[in-house]
Amino acid sequence: MPLIETKGAASAQGFGEFAKTGEAVYIESCFSTWLYTGNGSTQTITNGIDLSTKGGLVWMKARSSALSNFLCDTARGRAYYLYSDWNGAQQGPSASNRDLTSFNTDGFSLGQNANADINTNAVTFASWTFRKQPKFFDVVTWTGDGTNPRQISHNLGSVPGCIIVKSTTRSENWTVYHRSLGNTGRIALNTTAAAVTGTGVWASTTPTSTTFTVSADNLVNFSGDGYVAYLFAHDAGGFGLTGTDNVISCGSFATDGSGNATVSLGYEPQWVLIKQTDGADNWYLNDNMRGMAVSGNQPNLSPNLSAAEQAGGYNTYPNATGFTASVGIASKNYIYIAIRRGPMKTPTTGTSVYNGITRTGTGANASVTGAGFPPDLALIKQRGASGNASVWNDKLRGTNRELYSNNTDGEFAGSGGLNSFDQNGVSLGNNTGNMNDSGATYINWFMRRAPGFFDEVCYTGNSVTTETQAVTHNLSVAPELIFIKRRDTSSSVGWFAGCSFTASTYGLGWLNLTDSVSPSSYGNPMSARPTATTFSVGPNTNVNANASTYVAYLFASCPGVSKVFSFTGNGSSQTINCGFTGGSRLVLIKRTDSTGNWVIFDSARGIVAGNDSALYLNSTAAEVTGVDAIDTDSTGFIVNQETTFNLNVNNATYIGLAIA
């Protein structure tokens, strides 16, 4: 079994910005992974991070070409930069129109004559932005004075978990303090070398919440030299509504005999940096924008290498409470820095987490843009022809891994389907039919995971005969609608659909079938009422077969954003009040007391006072048009009695999901 490191609860010592302002702080305002393509000219990266007034660090790396890791921070100024893959002094000053030209209140800008390492035309890049924030990250500069020991003040507001130091004026290695190496250990960011101990760089003194200590060593305090340090917190709290949520962890793990280890963080990570400490090997960096998924080989970049992105070798598979490291090297020790996935803040507008995009297929590689956010789920359906699947793609399971809600099939792992999840949509391959047939019309329903609205969990079944399993999620409220699908093989019935959860019963249905949704007691498949942190499954092959893999999609009612609704038909027309102010942009309805399709409407194809366009998630049928099934209403929508879809039949019962 892999060795496990378990994190404790968030620190209760201080609340950082929360304590000073009374306002909650969230990771999405302090950290961003932003992917972009170089244009050889000017461009602005708008990632929502305030560097201009708060300060911080921008780290950029080419993905498709062998170019250096470029680091620029507000403490030294936009005109100076360092390369983490070599030991040279800082470069600069750059002219005002060159390299990183400005730190902005919502990102940063690149100049017309930007360094080739950050804006080469047609080269793809990743950028990681760290905002200065107590309990998360700080930047400090100083001039060496040769004294031993010397204390350097910082404003991290907690004991640093990791400190990365570089001389800005001479050629010296990047020197890293990590809490797991102790106050006599260090490791170099720009090399593959193992950690060393007993060097005295940190004057054998453990950092505090206000200072860290350096010796007279050339690496950290040579008289007259300039230095910069990047400080990372560890399980310090300071975030979320109560100011106690952790967003960054600096820890260690040891691999088992198969080269694997499980790390518990108490949250799902979006960014993980790891390094072997007892042997020579590269640093490896994974993030969820470039493909940190629950399976498969992941795209790696290395701070100590200029090499282009490569897949395989080191993989960090995220889960709701941490990650599994699969490095393929048995019985070795590693350090890591992990950053929590966002957004942490509950959304207040539907446009921040959902959008529907209509398009025409190309039969060739194509980008679908306009989502308005980085999507986590892309549900794609061809409109004009029958025989095409309802295709579910999601970032957590990885690219080119499709599930079809119209059948019982397991996950299809192919190529030419959905090639990447992007900042504002997705990129598609030359898959014909289901997703990108030339000339065919499609609808893409994009959703973003967010507290109170939508979450996704991948898990492994544990039941042989009678076992149940409580699966942790990060929805932050009890889910009201749950879809679960077995991934590793076809399931006997298909897509579990659970709804209408009470203390003793729930509605049991199947997303791939027209069957009624029947009241059921807890036990099997759902073994207990869902809570704000878990849902529980019983001994059923559709949801919990031993060692089988599953995905669960969880939805809840989020004020002004989404509504999981139910109603009884009146045989005429009635308004379904969802608490919205601008009406519904997506409506999914299922009759529960009798047979009926899972019918989906959206404003992209037209929710109007007249006829609407509808598709079935449980069917390969083409789009149905010419039927006035639902109408607009500012509070939600109006449902009409309609025989084609079996809607609003007198005394019939219905459940569904609406998104503003």
Token representation of residue 164: 């990365």
Question: In the prediction, which pLDDT does 465 show?
Answer: 82
- 97 exposure class (CB count in 10 Å sphere: 0-12, 13-18, 19+): exposed
Question: Domain residue spans in the chain?
Answer: 1-25+241-343, 31-132, 137-233, 350-447, 454-555, 562-659
Check pLDDT > 70 for residue 172. yes
Residue 237 neighbours by CB under 8 Å, 6+ apart: 10, 11, 12, 13, 14, 15, 16, 135, 243, 244, 245, 246
- Each residue of 494-503: pLDDT tens digit? 999 999 999 9
> Contact 194/201 with Cβ under 8 angstroms?
no
Distances from the Cα of 193 to the Cα of 112, 131, 188, 468, angstroms: 38, 29, 7, 46
Check pLDDT > 60 for residue 10. no
The secondary structure of residue 347, as a DSSP letter, is P
Task: State the pairing for strand pair 260-264/3-6.
Answer: parallel
Task: State the pairing for strand pair 107-110/124-131.
Answer: unpaired
Task: Look at the chain and count its residues.
Answer: 660
Question: In the prediction, which pLDDT does 21 show?
Answer: 55
d(CA 627, CA 513): 22
In this prediction, residue 284 has a pLDDT band, given cuts at 50, 70 and 90, of: very high
Check pLDDT > 60 for residue 18. no
Amino acid at 532: A
Amino acid at 372: G
SS3 410: coil
Residue among 308, 390, 312 at smallest CA distance from 66: 308
In this prediction, residue 342 has a pLDDT band, given cuts at 50, 70 and 90, of: very high
Check pLDDT > 50 for residue 401. yes
Check pLDDT > 70 for residue 12. no
In this prediction, residue 116 has a pLDDT band, given cuts at 50, 70 and 90, of: confident
Token representation of residue 404: 């079809």
The secondary structure of residue 502, as a DSSP letter, is -
d(CA 601, CA 591): 15
Question: In the prediction, which pLDDT does 22 show?
Answer: 66
Amino acid at 229: A
Task: Return phi, psi of residue 44, to 5°.
Answer: -115, 130
- Each residue of 28-51: pLDDT tens digit? 999 999 999 999 999 999 999 999
Q: What is the mean pLDDT of residues 529-540?
A: 97
SS3 382: strand
The secondary structure of residue 351, as a DSSP letter, is G
- Each residue of 491-525: pLDDT tens digit? 999 999 999 999 999 999 999 999 999 999 999 99
Check pLDDT > 60 for residue 4. no
Residue among 64, 124, 69, 123 at smallest CA distance from 91: 69
Residue 531 neighbours by CB under 8 Å, 6+ apart: 478
Check pLDDT > 70 for residue 13. no
Question: In the prediction, which pLDDT does 17 show?
Answer: 42
pTM of the model: 0.95
- 12 exposure class (CB count in 10 Å sphere: 0-12, 13-18, 19+): exposed
In this prediction, residue 85 has a pLDDT band, given cuts at 50, 70 and 90, of: very high
Question: In the prediction, which pLDDT does 516 show?
Answer: 98
Check pLDDT > 90 for residue 531. yes
**What dotted CATH number matches 1-25+241-343?**
2.60.40
Check pLDDT > 90 for residue 585. yes
> Contact 250/234 with Cβ under 8 angstroms?
yes
Token representation of residue 618: 């449980």
Residue among 345, 267, 271, 339 at smallest CA distance from 25: 345
> Contact 549/457 with Cβ under 8 angstroms?
no
Average pLDDT of every residue of the chain: 94
Cα–Cα–Cα angle for 199, 200, 201, rounded to 5 degrees: 95
Residue 323 neighbours by CB under 8 Å, 6+ apart: 262, 263, 265, 269, 272, 316, 317, 338
In this prediction, residue 317 has a pLDDT band, given cuts at 50, 70 and 90, of: very high
Q: What is the mean pLDDT of residues 600-629?
A: 96
The stretches of 35-181 forming alpha helices (DSSP H) are: 116-119
Question: In the prediction, which pLDDT does 11 show?
Answer: 29
Tokens 């992917």, located at residue: 35
Check pLDDT > 50 for residue 136. yes
Q: What is the mean pLDDT of residues 292-310?
A: 96
Token representation of residue 477: 């409220």
- Each residue of 552-583: pLDDT tens digit? 999 999 999 999 999 999 999 999 999 999 99
Ramachandran assignment for 17, one of left (phi > 0), alpha (psi -120 to 50 degrees), beta (any other): alpha
Tokens 């699947």, located at residue: 389
3-state SS, 66-107, equals CCCCEEEECCCCCCCEEECCCCCCCECCCCCCCCEEEEECCE
